[in-house]
Structure 1
Amino acid sequence: MKTILVPTDFSHNAYHALLYATRLFKNQKCHFVLLNTFLVKTPILTSRLNTEKGEQLYQQLSLQSKEQLTEVYHNIIRDTEGCRHTFEMVSISQELTETIQKTAATKNVDLVIMGTKGATGAKEIFMGSNTVSTIKKLKNTPVLAVPLEFETRTPSKIAFASDFKRPYKDNELAPLHHIASLFKAAIDVIYVNEDKGLDVDQKNNLKIFKQTFQEFDLTIHEIEKSKYISKEIDSFIKQDDFDLLAMIYYQHSLMESITKEPVINKLGFRTNIPFLVMQQLR
């Protein structure tokens, strides 16, 4: 049974991501962990009075968090009638990213799903946001960012972007393989062509990728390297009716280079489809 962690700030965006996930895996039995974190801000130098006020505030925020989690639970049970999913509520007074990391490890989470706006979302996916911090710290757990504007539908066409500068292990690609298998999706591979084209290693890595996904309808596309690769990828996925964009995050990867682009720091990578970020496994 797949375990899926969904951080929530009780916004419409967070609930949309949860609903998308429950419907995406509606034919599987999944266990969803609904996580809300809250922080109690107290003065560094605390008197007894301030300590008591801090404790009162903690109790108030804790109760509020649990009540709102319960409301989310009842809503998702109502909205996923007929699904075989189970749900667990977790309320913790800790920093968000650290809590996601610890919860993912202790509960053997297979996937983290986040909305693309809101306090626990990824409004600007590459702007040092909670999602980027989560991606960097999770290390072994994939993250799926879901835009609020995306209407829930099964992914029949997936875009996978890479520079193929390193070989991918089968288990690194497992999340992509799993989703593509569930829906018999076609996969369009986008690679960035630097001046001299793919070198020997890149060609071999692409060949290995093709072998891993040989049972799928694969199409290979080349895009020219430009100053802002993110714009090229964004333009490509908007030309066709893609349902999911996937990349692998590792040091010096295509995705890492995108995060450093000035345009990303100013505008964010505004993909309007769900974005699956898989991790380099060590």
Structure 2
Amino acid sequence: MRHHILLPTDFSENAWSAAVYAIKLYAKKSCTFYFSHAWTFVNTGSRTYISPSYIDKLKNTAKEQLIELTENAKIISTNTEHKFETIFSEEFLTESIKAAIKKHAIDMVVMGTKGATGAKEFLLGSNSVTVIKKVKLCPILLIPRNYEFVMPERIAFANGFKRSYGDELHAITKLSQLHDSNIEIVHINKEADLTELQHSNVKSLKEFLKDHPHTFNWIPEQGRKEQILSNFIEDKDIQLLTMINYERSFLEDLINEPIIKKLGYHSVIPFMVIPHQA
């Protein structure tokens, strides 16, 4: 089975670090990686007239940078079953990603959480968070700035057990199978406090994961949920966090911003957001 991984890039170090992480994550798998660049012209100078030839020059420079990325990626990869392709788009970032997912049957989008501008999140926002909100066609794996690849022996799956499950669970098991990872299900509350619906969903989850190594973790709700998750990640030495992106997440309660958005900015480990399959 060949995997198809999309690597959006703005040619920053963070985007390259995310690409390296993806290559190492799929080191032993047949995989096609697509370096994708959403090109837009920004007149940062005092030019009042922009010639077509000048625009073409800028486009060609970006295309050459994409090719250079594929050449560098070939040096990083040790797998002859890895292929690297480029996608140059003049659409906005989210639209270019959606188009690539549909055209190339993309299994996962892997991107860095900080772009080339280095802009403050409150000023311009984050590309990664925008993608999480607007692209819901496949899982999105966010790689923190300057993160060095660590084999994900333990993958945390934060869940409230308030929704029934669909095909989105396959994204977690497929990820865990890459490196025989243990899935650490984490729920912020006591097991004894579960409702009848939650008990039913836990039972369904256990049945789904019966052939995959997994552990259930019950954590008392004491403090902000974002901090509880962060402490759990540190205490259990979690290498990757996953979460299903419902229209309204169970983790939005008691915090001003949805935790998925917060973690998109602040996660210290790779964070995979899985769109809910209704």
Normalized against structure 1, the TM-score is what?
Answer: 0.86
Say if 2:34 is the partner of 1:33: yes
Say if 2:13 is the partner of 1:17: no
Q: Distance in 1 between matches of 2:56 and 2:173?
A: 44
**Contact 1:37-1:95 within 8 A present in 2 as well:** yes
Say if 2:192 is the partner of 1:191: no
Name the amino acid aligned to 2:109. V
Deviation digits for residues 184-223 of structure 1 (CA, Å, limit 9, x no counterpart):
2111111122898211101111111111111233221222
Q: Distance in 2 between matches of 1:259 and 1:25?
A: 35
**Contact 1:39-1:94 within 8 A present in 2 as well:** yes
Name the amino acid aligned to 1:105. K
Residue 172 of structure 1: aligned partner: 168
Residue 202 of structure 1: aligned partner: 198
Residue 7 of structure 1: aligned partner: 8
Deviation digits for residues 55-89 of structure 1 (CA, Å, limit 9, x no counterpart):
23421221110111111111111111334111111
Deviation digits for residues 229-266 of structure 1 (CA, Å, limit 9, x no counterpart):
11110111011211110100011123555884399988
**Contact 2:191-2:218 within 8 A present in 1 as well:** no
Residue 86 of structure 1: aligned partner: 83
Q: Distance in 1 between matches of 2:170 and 2:194?
A: 24
Residue 102 of structure 1: aligned partner: 99
Deviates more, 1:6-15 or 1:263-272: 263-272
Residue 46 of structure 1: aligned partner: none
Deviation digits for residues 99-135 of structure 1 (CA, Å, limit 9, x no counterpart):
11121122211100001221499996xx952222212
**Contact 2:128-2:264 within 8 A present in 1 as well:** no
Q: Distance in 1 between matches of 2:209 and 2:182?
A: 10
Name the amino acid aligned to 1:27. K
Q: 1:13 to 1:83 in 2, by over 3 A?
A: farther
Name the amino acid aligned to 1:98. E
**Contact 1:186-1:218 within 8 A present in 2 as well:** yes
Q: Distance in 2 between matches of 1:168 and 1:120?
A: 38
Q: Distance in 2 between matches of 1:122 and 1:196?
A: 45
Deviation digits for residues 34-72 of structure 1 (CA, Å, limit 9, x no counterpart):
001221247xxxxxxx99725234212211101111111
Residue 65 of structure 1: aligned partner: 62
Deviates more, 1:141-150 or 1:254-263: 254-263
Residue 244 of structure 1: aligned partner: 240
Return the offset for 1:149. 3.4
Pairing of 1:143-162 with structure 2 (within 5 A): 143-162=140-159
Pairing of 1:261-276 with structure 2 (within 5 A): 261=257, 269-276=265-272
Return the offset for 1:94. 2.3
Name the amino acid aligned to 1:78. I
**Contact 1:7-1:34 within 8 A present in 2 as well:** yes
Residue 227 of structure 2: aligned partner: 231
Secondary structure at 1:153 match in 2: coil
Name the amino acid aligned to 2:204. I
Secondary structure at 1:184 match in 2: coil
**Contact 2:17-2:147 within 8 A present in 1 as well:** no
Residue 47 of structure 1: aligned partner: none
Residue 45 of structure 1: aligned partner: none
Q: 1:243 to 1:258 in 2, by over 3 A?
A: farther
Deviation digits for residues 11-36 of structure 1 (CA, Å, limit 9, x no counterpart):
11111111111111111111111001
Unaligned runs of 5+ in 2: none
Say if 2:140 is the partner of 1:139: no
**Contact 2:37-2:89 within 8 A present in 1 as well:** yes
Normalized against structure 2, the TM-score is what?
Answer: 0.87
**Contact 1:97-1:134 within 8 A present in 2 as well:** yes
Secondary structure at 1:205 match in 2: helix
Q: Distance in 1 between matches of 2:82 and 2:218?
A: 40
Q: Identical aligned pairs, as a percentage?
A: 35
Deviates more, 1:28-37 or 1:178-187: 178-187
